[in-house]
Amino acid sequence: MHRPHHRLALSLLLAISGAPALAATPVAAPSEHALAQRLVDTIALAEQGDSVGALIGFERVFNDPDVATLDAVQRLEGLVSAGRTAFNARQPQEAQRYLDAALKQAPDDARALYVLGRLKLLQDQPVQGADLITRSLRASDRFLADIDAPLVYRLGDALQEQPDDYRALLEALFDRQWKVDGLEPTAVWLTLATLQADAGQQQRLAATVARIDAPIEVVALRSDKRFDAVVDRRDPRFDPLQSARRHADALRVSALLQPEASDLAALTDTLLLLGEHAQVLTATDPLHARLTEAGAPRSFPGGAYAAWVLLHRAVAQHRLGQDDQTEATLELASTLTNEGDTVNPLQRLYLASWYLASAKPARALQTLDGLDEAPMFGEYLRQWIRFSAYRSQGDTARSAQARQWLQANQDEGRSVYVDVLLAEQRTDEAARWVIAELQSPRRRQDLLQLMQNFRMLPPMPADVDNDARWEALLKRPDVRAALERVGRRETLPIYGRGAWR
């Protein structure tokens, strides 16, 4: 499939899934009087999970006329525990009251800052939430392990208009040596490096770039001239092929050290970039064998993850010329779901995209049947499939409906709209769109990656004309001039993430 709409951007699928239960913290030694003992007992009650009883106890303690006689440290411990307990009990007003009181007494208390920050995020106040979490991280690394990639990506989406606030959060994570499953979150550090470059923070930029060593992120560093001052493209350190090899080795070592956190999807993704397609098949053979046994379940914990691994297997099979096996693997992946789910929409979209690229538009549309019509992640891909398939069948009305959606919704997968313009041979308009994207600091990087000349297979039947139009577009003098002002196009020794290329 052609480049603009087959990146395996797992990170874009992520979001916060409910409020986390926040762990208790050690309690200071009690003062020698009855109210102090009541507070100690109430904190213990909260730690035992009796939120209702604990919140009643906290209310009585902090409404007691003698509360001011409590030792300051113990009073702070009580307020933090009460705020945390109210947060976990989904009582936001009570949580806010206790946490505000704690911060009035101790403005830099990392616990109160963090819990209040998470509360603000749940109340859809991302700016305030991010600021509080940033302050908590600067004060202590106590909650570093509680911060996961979904939270960070969600905040990135929410703070697009507040880049300084997002940069401050990422810098706090960077300074605390934050990692994901023991590995550097290189995509996050690339975002941080971009924000630092835009803010003119050259000294901090060099330190951030030093911790970016994953192939696609290295390609981004090479292609974007904002990083030229700190990236020597002749250095093996910034060779995408060497980076991919190092990244694969790091994933293997991580799997040995932490088998429970082994990431087969990340490893097979990296092997695909390297062109080690036979290794992808070897790595996924055991999973494939289990899933093709008679009576093997199709819905189970981790089913969606298994489907991603099988998608990588399908890409490897296609690149090895095993298209019959590719289709069978995609069919299998499209049936796998997490326990309790009945459909895997994204894998159905990938299967449909395979049929579309194979010049089987009717099969592509049939594969989309039955999916919920509500917008979902990957909606741009569904609408592109509809636009192309209906157009090839001469159904101009339904093709126009999909086109209208793609024109109006240019956020996720926005570069697909260029394909629409090229399919309609509106080349001048496509060029203006590309030039505008290159001029946008926030959106430039995605387009630069699409413009790189990765290793790839010849286009599939339905992609031949579109690929030729893309190449012609990239050779236009106005597009080349816009590219050369902000970046560069290179011939690279690794594959891209285009699914069928």
Count CB atoms within 10 A of the CB of residue 196: 25
User: For the chain, what percent of residues have pLDDT higher than 90?
Assistant: 86
| Residues whose CB is less than 8 angstroms from the CB of residue 235 and which lie 6 or more positions away in sequence, other chains included | none
Q: Which value, in Å, is the radius of gyration of the alpha carbons in the chain?
A: 26
Tokens, residue 324: 């019959």
Among candidate residues 388, 408, 403, the one with its CA nearest the CA of residue 462: 388
- Report pLDDT digits (tens) over 163-202: 999 999 999 999 999 999 888 999 999 999 999 999 999 9
Scan for tokens 């934050």, then name that residue: 178
| Residue 482, helix vs strand vs coil | helix
Mean pLDDT (the chain) is 92
Residue 328 in contact with residue 288, Cβ under 8 Å?
A: no
Predicted confidence band at 326 (pLDDT cuts at 50, 70, 90)?
very high
Relative orientation angle of helices 416-423 and 396-408, to the nearest 10 degrees: 140
Mean pLDDT calculated for residue range 244-259:
90
Give residue 350's identity as a one-letter amino acid code: Y
Tokens, residue 357: 């690229």
Among candidate residues 437, 420, 358, 357, the one with its CA nearest the CA of residue 383: 420
Helix (H) or strand (E) holding 362: helix 361-368
- Distance CA(248)–CA(257), nearest Å, equals 14
Tokens, residue 298: 């199709």
Residue 10 has pLDDT above 70, yes or no: no
- Distance CA(280)–CA(266), nearest Å, equals 11
Q: pLDDT value at position 349?
A: 97
- Report pLDDT digits (tens) over 88-143: 999 999 999 999 999 999 999 999 999 999 999 999 999 999 999 999 999 999 99
Among candidate residues 451, 498, 473, the one with its CA nearest the CA of residue 219: 451
Helix (H) or strand (E) holding 474: helix 464-474
Count CB atoms within 10 A of the CB of residue 240: 23
Predicted confidence band at 24 (pLDDT cuts at 50, 70, 90)?
low
Scan for tokens 């429970």, then name that residue: 260
Residue 1 has pLDDT above 80, yes or no: no
| Residue 224, helix vs strand vs coil | strand
Residue 63 has pLDDT above 50, yes or no: yes
pTM above 0.85, yes or no: yes
Render 265-317 in DSSP notation, one character per residue.
HHHHHHHHHHT-HHHHHHHHHHHHHHHTSTT--SB-TTHHHHHHHHHHHHHHH
Tokens, residue 146: 């509680």
Residue 25 has pLDDT above 70, yes or no: no
Mean pLDDT calculated for residue range 223-227:
98
Count CB atoms within 10 A of the CB of residue 162: 15
Q: pLDDT value at position 67?
A: 92
Helices H / strands E in the chain, number of each: 25, 2
Predicted confidence band at 21 (pLDDT cuts at 50, 70, 90)?
low
Taking phi over 0 as left and psi of -120 to 50 as alpha, with beta for the rest, 420 belongs to alpha
Q: pLDDT value at position 498?
A: 85
User: Beta strand 491-495 with 453-455: parallel, antiparallel or unpaired?
Assistant: parallel
Which segments of 48-109 does DSSP mark as H helices, in order? 51-62, 72-88, 92-105
Predicted confidence band at 215 (pLDDT cuts at 50, 70, 90)?
very high
Residue 2 has pLDDT above 60, yes or no: no
- Report pLDDT digits (tens) over 395-432: 999 999 999 999 998 777 889 999 999 999 999 999 99
